[in-house]
């Protein structure tokens, strides 16, 4: 799997699937989640509501992933995953890593080859960007999924620079 980094807005990505840093309600929020629902239109929320009424009555657990249509977005699917809230008092890295492995598993199930990821948990959920980048990149690097490209879409020059540095370290 090739790892690529771009700076930009994930809602504009022409990938097979884009990953949403959602919350367990699946019913929307701020950050990437807000942008995806706003630009993707009501079809996404409709499918999320249906998931809440069936498979995920209690919400999507942290570290898991599920796909819906991408509505009006250029991508074909949105893979919703729930990152852990950062906590100094407890190591939740395995849950953040799980978001990436489970999203890739869902992508494989769909036959998606190019998958775009945001920096899950590194916004509202407070994860320090360098650590979030290290976990994201190393987890994807170790994956044996059939996805051919994992594209990290970083919002802003600072996030991009952090990912670039962590990728360089990983490859060193
Ligand atoms: N494209 C790419 N990256 C973005 C975009 C975008 N359009 N918008 C923000 N980011 P966050 P979390 C970056 O807060 O930390 C929501 O309310 C952002 O700068 O979206 O996992 C959900 O409903 C940051 O680097 O996700 C949950 O309640 C990264 O994406 C909660 O926030 C993740 O920031 C999830 O928090």
DSSP 9-55: -GGG--SSEEEEEE-TT-S--SHHHHHHHHHH-HHHHHHHHHHHHTT
Written as tens digits, the pLDDT of the chain (172 aa) is 999 999 999 999 999 999 999 999 999 999 999 999 999 999 999 999 999 999 999 999 999 999 999 999 999 999 999 999 999 999 999 999 999 999 999 999 999 999 999 999 999 999 999 999 999 999 999 999 999 999 999 999 999 999 999 999 999 8
Specify the CATH architecture of the domain 2-171: 3-Layer(aba) Sandwich (3.40)
| Partner residues linked to 72 by β-bridges | none
Give the predicted TM-score (pTM) of the model.
0.98
131 catalytically annotated: no
Pocket-forming residues, ligand 1, beta carbon under 6 Å: 9-11, 21-23, 29-33, 35, 83, 118-125, 153, 155, 159
Pairing of strands 65-69, 77-82: antiparallel
- Predicted local distance difference test score (pLDDT) of residue 159: 98
* Residue-range domain boundaries for the chain: 2-171
């Amino acid at each position: 799997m090739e790892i690529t980094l771009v700076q930009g807005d994930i809602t504009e990505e022409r990938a097979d699937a884009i990953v949403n840093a959602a919350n367990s309600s699946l019913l929307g929020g701020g950050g990437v989640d807000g942008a995806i629902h706003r630009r993707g239109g009501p079809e996404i929320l409709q499918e999320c509501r249906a998931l809440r009424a069936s498979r995920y009555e209690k919400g999507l657990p942290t570290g898991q992933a599920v796909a819906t249509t991408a509505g009006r977005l250029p991508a074909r699917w949105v893979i919703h995953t729930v990152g852990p809230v950062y906590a100094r008092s407890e190591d939740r890295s395995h849950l953040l890593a799980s978001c990436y492995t489970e999203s890739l598993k869902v992508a494989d199930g769909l036959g998606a080859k190019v998958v775009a990821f945001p920096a899950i948990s590194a916004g509202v959920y407070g994860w320090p960007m360098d650590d979030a980048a290290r976990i994201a990149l190393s987890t994807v690097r170790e994956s044996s999924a059939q996805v051919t490209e994992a594209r990290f879409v970083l919002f802003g020059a600072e996030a991009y620079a952090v990912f670039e540095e962590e990728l360089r370290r990983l490859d060193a």
